[in-house]
Amino acid sequence: MPLWSIVLLCSVGAVALFVIGMSLTLMFKGHHIDSEISTNENMRRLGIKCAVQETREADGTAVCADDASPLSGCTGNCSACDIEPGKE
């Protein structure tokens, strides 16, 4: 058996195991794994924040969390935070 076919079979097997693992997670938990910082309750409970939000809060250039007046483009959701402040 040629080497390329062994490598191909091993890679297909690894991808199949990954798909099965993700499917089992979805079946047992009933939802996808929540890796978004703003919607994951455990990350919020531990005080983990988006890197952009954390930097802006440290600089004093943003009011970015659950405050009443968040800046546009930064609502505590990491995907909503613009890297460049003031960009609309």
Three-class SS of residue 13?
Answer: helix
The answer to whether 69 touches 81, Cβ cutoff 8 Å, is no
Q: Which residue has the higher pLDDT, 88 or 12?
A: 12
Position 76 pLDDT exceeds 80: no
Please give the Cα distance from 32 to 4 (Å, whole number): 34
Q: pLDDT per residue over 15-24, tens digit each?
A: 999 999 888 8
Q: Which residue has the higher pLDDT, 53 or 19?
A: 19
Q: How many CB atoms lie within 10 A of CB 62?
A: 20
Let me know the angle formed at the C-alpha of 10 by 9 and 15, rounded to the nearest 5 degrees.
100
Please give the Cα distance from 62 to 71 (Å, whole number): 7
* pLDDT (0 to 100) of residue 16: 97
